[in-house]
């Protein structure tokens, strides 16, 4: 035989030399859950190793992870029930938990990139990403609220807004709102292709943000998040958000949707973010805890597969332990 593909697999040195995809700490973004209080750390039972933490412990954790090479965090707030309503107005309270968290983190670690979640579900009494009108999620009033929230987070010091709501037209409206208020350097990471997925379960438990059981409103998020049977629709969503001014686009969830990542990578030049969501993380952790899988190896392999498909950055709850593995 003239051609023997195994020649380039002979040993680790040559395999490393011809390796096509490399995973580094520069690829990692850490999602974090912040709650009210001081010195408070609450374990999330469905996500081993992940916690809701008060702001003082959040800052400490970010410092530790920054030293590992994790340069970006994606923030979510556990909002008190008494602050929730149908308008989500707590989302743009200048003294709200998210705004306070951004200012505090920036003061402590100015170099870290803060990507706050922009969505109303943590602030909604209904657990939906939008404002309910006549039993439906009203797109345009929700977009207006999201713009208020985005500008408020930019004022607090956010580097990149991460709207995860999937309302139509919100990227353009947010971009215009930022420009009009002088925040020309604040980026938008749009959840452009966010599917209505069963893999979000542990996350919704962590934030108490699942849709409430009420026959007068939608029982799920399928009227705005995407149908998981579709792929062409994802292309349309991505291209629309790029046209509206998104700096980075998100595809979510991760591994079950790598076909979408690959297709989008062929079509756009903008950076692609992929979210290894709570259900993916929980499955790998459960299998590893039962001795069915090697925790370290499957974490690296799963994230590398996402990178290989075309991702430029990966949101993962495993970022700290993956960073430690990579730093070895």
Beta strands, E only, 220-271: 248-252
Whether 156 and 193 have beta carbons less than 8 Å apart is answered as no
Nearest partner of 189 among 126, 242, 136, judged by Cα: 242
User: Distance (Å, rounded) from C-alpha 5 to C-alpha 48?
Assistant: 41
Which residues are known catalytic residues? 194, 252
For the beta carbon of residue 291, count every other beta carbon within 10 angstroms: 8
Q: How many CB atoms lie within 10 A of CB 22?
A: 12
Measuring CA to CA, which residue among 158, 49, 180, 21 is closest to residue 101?
A: 158
Q: Which positions ≥6 away from 27 have C-beta within 8 Å?
A: 303, 307, 311, 312, 313, 314
**Closest of 131, 151, 142, 133 to residue 169, by C-alpha:** 142
Strand 131-133 relative to strand 136-138, pairing: antiparallel
Q: What 3-state DSSP class applies to 253? A: coil
Residue 244 in marked binding region: no
Give the containing element (helix H, strand E) for 316: strand 313-316
Q: How many CB atoms lie within 10 A of CB 17?
A: 9
Cα separations in angstroms, 98 against 103, 123, 162, 172: 9, 11, 13, 23
Q: Which residues are annotated as a binding site for Mg(2+)?
A: 237
Q: Which residues are annotated as a binding site?
A: 237
């Amino acid at each position: 035989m003239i051609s023997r593909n195994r020649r380039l697999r002979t040993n680790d040195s040559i395999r490393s030399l011809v390796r096509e995809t490399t995973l580094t700490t520069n690829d990692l973004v850490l999602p974090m859950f912040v709650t009210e209080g001081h010195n408070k750390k609450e374990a999330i039972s469905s996500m081993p190793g992940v916690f809701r933490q008060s702001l003082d412990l959040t800052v400490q954790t970010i410092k530790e992870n920054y030293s590992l090479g994790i340069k970006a965090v994606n923030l979510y707030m556990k909002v008190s029930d008494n602050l929730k309503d149908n308008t989500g107005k707590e989302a743009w309270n200048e003294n709200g938990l998210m705004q306070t968290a951004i200012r505090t983190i920036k003061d402590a670690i100015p170099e870290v990139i803060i990507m706050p979640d922009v969505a109303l579900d943590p602030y909604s009494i209904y657990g939906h990403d939008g404002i309910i009108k006549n039993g439906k999620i009203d797109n345009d009033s929700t977009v207006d609220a999201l713009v208020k929230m985005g500008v408020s987070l930019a004022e607090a010091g956010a580097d990149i807004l991460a709207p995860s709501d999937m309302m139509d037209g919100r990227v353009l409206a947010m971009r215009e709102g930022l420009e009009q208020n002088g925040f020309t350097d604040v980026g938008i990471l749009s959840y452009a292709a966010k599917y209505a997925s069963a893999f979000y379960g542990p996350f919704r438990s962590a934030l108490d943000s699942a849709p409430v059981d009420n026959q007068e409103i939608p029982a799920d998020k399928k009227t705005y998040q995407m149908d998981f049977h579709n792929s062409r629709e994802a292309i349309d969503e991505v291209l629309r958000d790029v046209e509206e001014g998104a700096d980075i686009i998100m595809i979510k969830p991760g591994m079950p949707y790598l076909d979408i990542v690959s297709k989008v990578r062929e079509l756009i030049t903008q950076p692609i973010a992929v979210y290894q969501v709570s259900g993916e993380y929980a499955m790998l952790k459960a299998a590893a805890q039962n001795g069915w899988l090697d925790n370290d190896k499957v974490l690296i392999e799963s994230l590398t597969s996402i990178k290989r498909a075309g991702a430029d950055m990966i949101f993962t709850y495993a970022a700290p332990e993956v960073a430690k593995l990579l730093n070895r």
